[in-house]
Chain A
Amino acid sequence: MLKLPSQSVKQKLSWLPSLLVFGFLLFALVLADTRSAVAIPPPALHMRAIPAFARKYGMPCSACHEAWPKLNNFGQNFKDNGYQMMNERDAPIFQQAAYWPVAFRITPNWHRESVNKTDLTNPATTLTTEGQLTTHGFDLSGLDILTAGTLAKNISFLLVPSADNAGAFHFESANVRFDNLLHTSWLNVKVGKFELDNIISEKRILTLSQQGGLYRIYHFVPVGDINPFGLGDNQLGAELSGHSKNDYNRYSIAMLSSNDGNVGLPNGHGYDTYMTLSTAFDAGSLGLQRVGAFAYIGRAPTYVSTTAGGTAIADGLGQKSFYRAGLYGLFYVKKLDFMTMYTHAGDSAFLGTGTPSFADLPAGARGPIWNGGMIETHYTFNPQFILINRYELIRMSRQALASNPGNLGDIDSLTFGYRYYPFISSRAGFAFHNEYSIVRQRGVAPISLTDVTSSSLFIGFDFIF
């Protein structure tokens, strides 16, 4: 629902409909058969909906996921083994011929989005003002079709055709992996399009809302920066990786095309590098603790080539460098865990000021530098219920232009919610998801150049089968 400004641009939030819808959805869930999985007799025989790996190995979602889609160490190990359990039954020959390794995931939802300062033009008066925009209603998420498994022993694949919520498809992931080369888990090679080897995986994020459904420190670029790269974006390239048998120690190094995962060689003039390593240690009854580091060194185009007539031909040229580096830690205190991350990043002055490489930089321009931090806390009551809280902050350390305010673009983001899984099985996954997220960014209001605050309220039924 679009609210156009009248005399006063400040609109009061309409919370009543939101509360009513939330109450209705919660009531519907309560009415559903939501008995605790651990309290009921063995599951009925009619359960047939089948996620790909759970179906293949007959294990409940909770075996590999602390709360799906977030992996636990066993699930990470399974992934790092090339989707293999390593019990000599991973080759497709051991599966029923009818087995089809496909799972679909989508989330029907109701959500409410609000931005307190946005550029609003009244079509009747053509009066441009800055005002609050609030929308809410029932909606769909995008669709993921997940196909993955083994082509043969120690040869794995992942293919994820993915659609946005309007049905426009692209290939989110498509790769083949050669596992345990030379009979060691320390040598694995993957080629294709894949998620960077981020232990804190954005593809397995537990939050789904428009504001909270991403890690901002993976995607942040300063105001005016034209670098399209995001650490959370899947990339095209080849990755060498390895891990200890129990996955406590792991590394990877990747060579990636400098095109942020876009197909068709749009910026086919260079390569990026990504490296990560981590180690985990056993802290007795507290659980497994992991610390790690990563670094990405890349190049991004500063202009797009054009024909003589001025038509862009979608080939980025004039590539300039950028980097992302960080430290992370996963710390467990029994049922409570903390995912923490610190990032340090910088772009070339050309990228930071949006200047083509053939042009002169604005006077005093320098490469922007920023730092980011994140702490995401989970309390996992049991495999069926998890509380989530995340706070992210991003602070500019150096603006590309000295004339910019020092805090221009700084971000504070808070997201909290929960996921409730009414049942756990080895055939299908279902979660009732409720989340609220609020983000403040400094100095980016379109007219007043003041802070902008955006928020999302999200209630969804996340299912995979």
Chain B
Amino acid sequence: MSAHKIAKSLLLTAAVLLTLPLLAVAQQGESHMGKLTGHSDAGKQLYFRFCWGCHGFRGDGSGENWLATGNYPTQPYLNIQPRNFDAAVFKCRSTPTGTLPLDEDLYNSVGRGFVMSNMPPWISLTKQQRADLVAFIKSFSPRFKSEKPGDPITVPAEPKLSVESIKHGQELFQKLECWKCHGPEGRGDGPSASTLTDSNDQPIRPYNFAVGSRFKCGATNQDLYKIFMTGLDGTPMPSFADVIKPEEAWDLVHFLRTLQVTHKSPELALWESTKEGAEQIASRRVSGTPTGSGIKQ
């Protein structure tokens, strides 16, 4: 090999070595959802327009609405401390518990919002804006630089709905002691409910199935399935991926739908068509209050 070729090869190698870190840096400032690429710089501008009031200047969940009122429990503006992006612990993921979420998970959370919290659905932002926000949100935590997201869990096809499935789900609800937090009727009033805290050591209330039609992480049966299997990181809701089989998780989904007595669903209709189910639902059913809150008074 001639000296000229050697020099050329060395130069090429040096160029590649110098370029790779730059590419890596560029990747770190991006988010990717299918064909959509979000950019951190653009997301920063959006963050300081829309998000900082709750999530704070540093993304640590200590925006003025949290700080200004002396924190929990007397603060009137927020009843749940906003997400601390620095910790990179997220409730809604399609990845196993303890792992980082996919960019798409964060993107969906921004667009969906969090029901019964102060986080509204930001669906009126453009897709690009939401992607840019995701890219910037990731920049708050060093975890996104050093770790990769977990592999998304597989959601098997939903088996056919049956009374047996609902009954088995009801048994699992007892066996897995879901009722301890969510209450025997799913109203979020189980014996442990008042003792629960989140990863910020703030009290947290279990989900009340009786008044909701949407869950924290979506509204479909698939979303509910994912919640069991991934858990809601940062909350006391664990992952049951190692405890129950996929078909059992579906049974649980079918039963939990019957606890949503104000939300019409095939599960509720089927369960109500049985004598046992009709009695249960009649005792659980509560219509909305005159205030429109839907909360049992």
Contact = CB atoms under 8 A, between A and B. Distances in A.
Interface string B114-137: 111111111111111100000000
Interface in B51-101: 52-54, 56-57, 62-65, 67-68, 70, 76-78
A337 to B, nearest CB: 13
Size bracket of the A interface: 35 or more
Contacts of A230: none
B118 A91 contact: no
Interface in A57-92: 57-60, 62-63, 73-74, 76-78, 85-89, 91-92
Contact of A73 (B57, B116, B124, B295): B124
B115 A87 contact: yes
A449 B55 CA distance: 61
Interface in A272-316: 282, 284-285, 287-288
Contacts, number: 128
A152 B292 contact: yes
B286 interface: no
Contact of A74 (B48, B62, B124, B128): B124
A94 B123 CA distance: 23
Of the candidates B63, B119, B123, B214, the one having the most CB atoms from chain A within 10 angstroms of its own CB is: B123
A245 interface: yes
A38 B48 contact: yes
Contacts of A63: 49-50, 53
Contacts of A62: 48-50
A45 B75 CA distance: 12
Interface string B284-295: 000011111111
Contacts of A247: 124
A73 B53 contact: no
A47 interface: yes
A160 B187 CA distance: 40
Contact of A284 (B48, B128, B211, B289): B128
Nearest to B211: A88
Given A58-B54, A382-B48, A426-B65, 11 more contacts: A37-B48, A45-B68, A55-B77, A59-B54, A60-B53, A85-B118, A87-B114, A93-B292, A284-B126, A284-B128, A287-B126
30 contacts: A38-B57, A42-B56, A42-B57, A43-B64, A45-B67, A45-B68, A45-B70, A57-B118, A58-B65, A60-B50, A60-B53, A63-B53, A74-B125, A77-B123, A86-B121, A87-B113, A88-B212, A91-B291, A91-B292, A92-B291, A93-B295, A150-B292, A152-B290, A152-B292, A153-B294, A246-B123, A282-B126, A282-B128, A284-B126, A426-B77
Interface of A: 37-38, 41-43, 45, 47, 55, 57-60, 62-63, 73-74, 76-78, 85-89, 91-94, 96, 98-99, 150, 152-155, 245-248, 282, 284-285, 287-288, 382-383, 425-427
Interface of B: 42, 45, 48-50, 52-54, 56-57, 62-65, 67-68, 70, 76-78, 113-129, 211-212, 214, 288-295
